[in-house]
Structure 1
Amino acid sequence: MQKNRPGLGILLVLLMVSCFASMDSTIRYLGAFVPVLLILWARYAFQALTMAIWLGLKQLRGGTGAFRSAHPKFQLLRGALLLATSAMSFYGVQQMPVAEFTAINMLTPVLVTLLAALVLHERVRPLRWALVVGGFAGALIVIRPGSGLFGWAVLFPLAGALFYACFQTLTSSLSALENPYTTHFYTGLTGAALLTLALALGPYRPLQLLTAAPAWQLGLLAFIGLLGTAGHLFLILALGMAPTGTLMPFVYVQIAVAAAIGWVAFDHAPDGYAWLGMAVLSASGAASAWLNVREAQARNSVVLQDTIED
């Protein structure tokens, strides 16, 4: 697909961030009634089932090898990293306001730069280091260590950003070797399989919980799965419409959407310091992400295929 429809690509990214911000807020609400582990399982089970039907229909129409993966170990590791990212998100939004959580989680592009220097031993220019410092400064303004504002809960978005940075680093080097829709299926399948095992070994009785749950809770579980699956599909489609560097700045609209939903649904609005920190984080993260893409294009390698966690 030629990347010559930037307007449509940007629209798809805006739909994507709306899906993810809505999903996080719905998880925060439903977590008061349903175990978070069960919500997490429903999200990945929905994705695996939806993509299995999608790929199955594609194969029936004459497609071949829709379910075939050239690198199953890559699929397993990628799925596990994204599951870890989602777990930090699902549990983290129970402890923190969604807008502040989202902002700290947007450290991912900055951490990708840090991983490139520490793990891949890539040379990092002074400008990149300045953006790393700026990103962490923005996070500190939001967190305000010592204030007791969020406490230990900030470990959730920080860990989520680190897991997602590892996920992106892996994806950027191997994603061109796999069909993105096949990868999307195996991501859901890996998460669903690992979470089914966790539920079987855990203290919950998932079948009893599901059969006893009222219809509105079951509806919200399906809604969360739909939002997560649709959000990632919107991203895949957007990447086919416009260059990643064009789309990257619009990912940070998720912070504003999360803040708006938090204000309407939970009567929470970030204070002035939080908005300042979010602005610094967004500017540093967007610039880091844009430079990541530009440098990847200059090396004729694959650009990053995903940009937020859940």
Structure 2
Amino acid sequence: MTPHAAAALHAANRRGVLAISAGMASFVVNDTLVKYVSETLPASQLIFLRGLMASALLLVVAHFMGATRRLADLADRRVLGRAGLDTLGTVAYLLSLFHIPLANALAINMATPLVITLLAVLVFREQVNAGRWLALAVGFTGVLLVVQPRGSEFSGYALLCLAGTLFHASRDFATRFIDHTIPSLLITLSTAVAVTLFTGAWSLFDQWAPVTPAQLGLLAAASVFLSGGYFFLTVAMRAGEMSLIAPFRYSGLLFGIVLGYVVWGHIPNAPAWAGIALLLGAGLWVMRAR
């Protein structure tokens, strides 16, 4: 590899790491807001309302950035395929989340980087050395120490959650096959619209509850962070080496711990702090395991 190519790859990797970290932070804030509102609104209703707001916001931003001139790209089969994978992953994850503890679902979902790394090796033939594989293993061990899932509570819904993880990993992987001339914002919009349409149909089978201005405000804020998360995730999956960038999904768990303390006063126990240390160490290590 020439020095110029190496410098370009380093810049792309750095851009991808920053984007995935920002995306995970955005998703965690969105999840926190939605979790708070879910105490008073049915899940399907609030996800649909949030999706409507996110889709409208993205459409407005896309218009001002001139991306709406390429709305026809939303019909691109790769864009549609990615949106479909995202919808399947979201629905599978949410349905499983309703029946198994959050810790179990989170632990399963954090296997996504391992799946992405495997796909990157099999399809793109990316060279993943022993150091990076070990860093992934250490990071996942840290995840398990933080969430501390109890094996006795795994069930058929855990398998459904695993299916959701596979769909989400496939979604991120499919992003690499989309024409780079298609704006990331439009890809983000396609995902938001697809999830909104599905949850809108889902909500028809649930009884709707009255919505207060405060709830709408929280959902509006959630839609902003959700849109940001989708956008940053798309940017990350289109930059650099997937096997290097993917492990930084673990940063979402760190953001979740901070917000859990700020909002609900949750303080990690000793094993969780050990897991955090492993996650941070793995994140630094994977950057050096070249």
Contact kept in structure 1, 2:250 and 2:279, CA below 8 Å: no
Between the aligned partners of 1:112 and 1:244, the Cα distance in structure 2 is 11
Counterpart of 1:266?
264
Does 1:199 find its partner at 2:203?
yes
Task: Give the C-alpha shift of residue 166 in structure 1.
Answer: 0.8
Between the aligned partners of 2:39 and 2:241, the Cα distance in structure 1 is: 37
Letter in 2 for 1:114: L
Q: Choose the corresponding residue for 1:27, options 24, 34, 41.
A: 34
- Partners of 1:158 and 1:261 in 2: CA distance: 25
2:199 is the alignment partner of 1:187:
no
C-alpha distance in structure 1 between counterparts of 2:271 and 2:58, whole Å: 42
- Cα distance change of structure 1 residues 155 and 142 upon mapping to structure 2, 3 Å threshold: farther
**Post-superposition shift, 1:232?**
3.3
Provide the residue aligned with 1:68 in structure 2. Answer: 72
Within the alignment, does 1:41 sit opposite 2:45 as a pair?
A: no
Partner residue, 1:53: 60
- Distance (Å, rounded) in 2 between the aligned partners of 1:167 and 1:158: 14
Give the Cα–Cα distance (whole angstroms) in 2 for the partners of residues 56 and 276 of structure 1.
46
Shift of 1:30: 1.7
Question: Normalising by structure 1, what TM-score?
Answer: 0.68
The 3 A distance-change label for structure 1 pair 160 and 282 is farther
Change (3 A) 1:5 1:125: closer
- Of the structure 1 ranges 31-40 and 80-89, higher mean CA displacement relative to structure 2 is found in 80-89
Report the AA paired with residue 112 of structure 1.
I
Go from structure 1 to structure 2 and tell me whether the alpha carbon gap of 1:213 and 1:93 turns closer, same or farther (over 3 Å shift).
same
Q: RMSD value over aligned CA atoms?
A: 4.3
In structure 2, how many angstroms separate the alpha carbons of the residues matched to 1:104 and 1:74?
A: 27
Q: Distance in 2 between matches of 1:282 and 1:131?
A: 10
Gaps of 5+ in 1: 295-310
Match of 1:113 in 2: 117
Cα displacement string for residues 3-49 of structure 1 (whole angstroms, at most 9, x for unaligned residues)? 98999998876654432221111222222211111222223222221
One-letter amino acid of the counterpart of residue 265, structure 1: V
Residues 131 and 239 (structure 1), Cα distance of their counterparts in 2 relative to 1, 3 Å cut: closer
Cα contact 2:26–2:229 (8 A) shared by 1: yes
Q: Distance in 1 between matches of 2:257 and 2:160?
A: 18
- Aligned partners of 1:72 and 1:111: how far apart in 2? 25
Which residue in 2 is equivalent to 1:224? Answer: 222
Q: Which residue of 2 aligns with 1:173?
A: 177
In structure 1, the residue matched to 2:211 is 213
C-alpha separation between the residues in 2 aligned to 1:31 and 1:181? 28
Deviation at 1:54, TM superposition (A): 2.6
Any stretches of 5+ residues in structure 2 without a counterpart?
1-7
- TM-score normalised per structure 2: 0.72
Q: 1:260 is paired with a residue of what secondary structure? A: helix
1:140 positional shift: 4.1
Higher helix share: 2
**1:221-260 aligned within 5 A:** 221-233=219-231, 252-260=250-258
